[in-house]
Amino acid sequence: MVPYDILILSNGPGEVSTWVRPVVKALRSRLPDPTQARISVVLSPCTNASGREAEIVRSFPEVDRVQGAKHFFPFLLRGKTAAGWDWHPQGVVVFLGGDQVYPLVIGKRLGYRTVVYAEWEVRWPRWIDRFGCMTAKVMAAVPAQYRAKCEVIGDLMADVGADVTTTQAVRQALDLSPTDELVGLMPGSKTNKLSLGLPFGLMVATAMQQQRPQTQFVIPVAPMLPLETLAQLADPAHNPDIGLLDQGLTTAGQPGAPLATLVDADSPRPKLRTPAGLEVRLWQTHPAYDLISQFRLCLTTVGANTAELGALGVPMIVLLPTQKLEAMKAWDGIPGMVMNLPGIGNTLARVINRLVLKRIYRGGQRFAWPNIWAGREIVPELIGPLTPDQVAKQAVNYLEQPEQLEAMRQDLQAVRGEPGASEKLAAIVIEELRRP
């Protein structure tokens, strides 16, 4: 059999977790013999990237080769990977994140056919060979003469929860009692979000447990994020942003006591423990879908995690504290680029975000992916100079009214779509792979 190459182009953490992972599984299930096809992943730069995406993809057993984002543009411009990869004569370039022009350029250079997953719109339909469209609306917007290249496959993110099984294993691993309710904290994966999000989450959890002692908390730790880093972000001596949340934590300019310390770091059950006795469990298995599916509620920052929670049907409250406006650097296009400029990026981020937030308050813009999918607010988004007590009150109110949580769960299940998109996209890729 003629060996083939499948080159997947992707970029950020959300795309890697919710698009690349299910697609490479589907591809490898159809091409189980590695001599049939080699699967390579090349990452492009992304403002949301944590810098650990390449390591995450390398952990996927279905993937043979990975190149990180820092080497992308030399590859795009010259066609040479940093490691000097060879290429089989026949192959397919698959777009799973980034700019849709990338597969066009790279496909032409390698002489490969091209397949694009079109989440919101189809671009370059004259030159791209096939499109897997998320919805019929995306396909309907394609000029009629190119529509035969398109197929509605559904939402890849709906496949996130396809293999999740709800078992007692998670509760046993966390040492939960039958009466404990589990609430997730997802404060982010990058330091610019965690420096505010982690201490804020610990403060909210403390306030919640005072009202509901049966509530237990867990953080699904981002891949490659050291536990020691989390502990430092809970310590005012290492994280001055804590003072933005409560000026009483510092005295005469001197750092106060840590909000929490790391305990049992070398055990299977590491935790952050507060002086008041609150223990926040730390879950390091990735992906954490078996854990996340057990949450009664999750307090999360904005980002791809809202898509994963939505795909799993997990009720959430999305938090965007504005005490540190420069932490918000996830915008697309020119605003995203200027915010990440060295030296002046933070100042520009504060200015741009103030302007954006004013428009948000007036125009009702949404940040959580489930709300974007639904075109309405089905999960609450709290934006502004939030206080821990304010968020804790709303979270406890939801926990005390399970019918509201169930309604939110049903809305999430309604908008996430049916699983199976990754299998349909894999079928398209293989059709193109074997096309003469």
Q: Is the domain of 398 the same as that of 423?
A: no
Q: Is the domain of 146 the same as that of 189?
A: no
Q: Is the domain of 33 the same as that of 180?
A: no
Phi-psi region of 51 (alpha: psi -120 to 50; beta: other; left: phi over 0): left
For 273-285, write each residue's pLDDT tens digit: 999 899 999 999 8
Q: Is the domain of 373 the same as that of 287?
A: yes
Residue type, 185: L
For residue 306, the tally of other CB atoms under 10 A from its CB is 25
For 67-116, write each residue's pLDDT tens digit: 999 999 999 999 899 999 999 999 999 999 999 999 999 999 999 999 99
**If you average pLDDT over every residue of the chain, what do you get?**
87
Band of residue 10 on the pLDDT scale cut at 50, 70, 90:
very high
Q: Does residue 120 have a pLDDT over 50?
A: yes
Query: What are all long-range contacts of 79-85, with beta carbons under 8 Å and residues at least 24 apart?
Result: 79/106, 79/109, 79/110, 81/42, 85/40
**Measured distance CA(193)–CA(176) in Å, rounded:** 29
**Measured distance CA(105)–CA(434) in Å, rounded:** 21
Residue type, 34: P
For the chain, give the percent of residues with pLDDT over 90. 61
Q: Is-contact 295 217, C-beta < 8 A? A: no
* pLDDT score for 189: 82
Higher pLDDT, 415 or 182: 182
Band of residue 190 on the pLDDT scale cut at 50, 70, 90:
confident
* pLDDT score for 334: 42
Q: Is the domain of 134 the same as that of 231?
A: no
Q: Is-contact 66 58, C-beta < 8 A? A: yes
Q: Is the domain of 331 the same as that of 426?
A: no
Q: Is the domain of 58 the same as that of 145?
A: yes
Counted domains in the chain: 2
* pLDDT score for 1: 53
The H-or-E segment that residue 193 falls in is helix 191-211
* pLDDT score for 359: 54
* pLDDT score for 244: 82
Beta strands in 139-235, from DSSP E residues, in sequence order: 150-152, 181-186, 215-220
From the number of C-beta atoms within 10 Å of its C-beta (0-12, 13-18, 19+), residue 64 rates as middle
Q: Does residue 43 have a pLDDT over 80?
A: yes
CATH number at residue 307: 3.40.50.2000
Q: Does residue 307 have a pLDDT over 90?
A: no
Band of residue 121 on the pLDDT scale cut at 50, 70, 90:
very high
**Sign of the CA dihedral running 204, 206, 209, 211:** negative
From the number of C-beta atoms within 10 Å of its C-beta (0-12, 13-18, 19+), residue 348 rates as middle
Q: Is the domain of 141 the same as that of 228?
A: no
Structure tokens at 179: 């009466």
Q: Is the domain of 218 the same as that of 357?
A: yes
For 238-297, write each residue's pLDDT tens digit: 998 888 886 444 444 456 789 999 999 999 999 999 998 999 999 998 888 899 999 999
Band of residue 343 on the pLDDT scale cut at 50, 70, 90:
low
Q: Is the domain of 137 the same as that of 245?
A: no
* pLDDT score for 250: 43
* pLDDT score for 354: 56
**Residue 109 belongs to what domain range?**
4-161+419-433
Q: Is the domain of 182 the same as that of 316?
A: yes
For 150-174, write each residue's pLDDT tens digit: 999 998 988 876 667 666 889 999 9
pTM here? Answer: 0.81
Q: Is the domain of 87 the same as that of 27?
A: yes
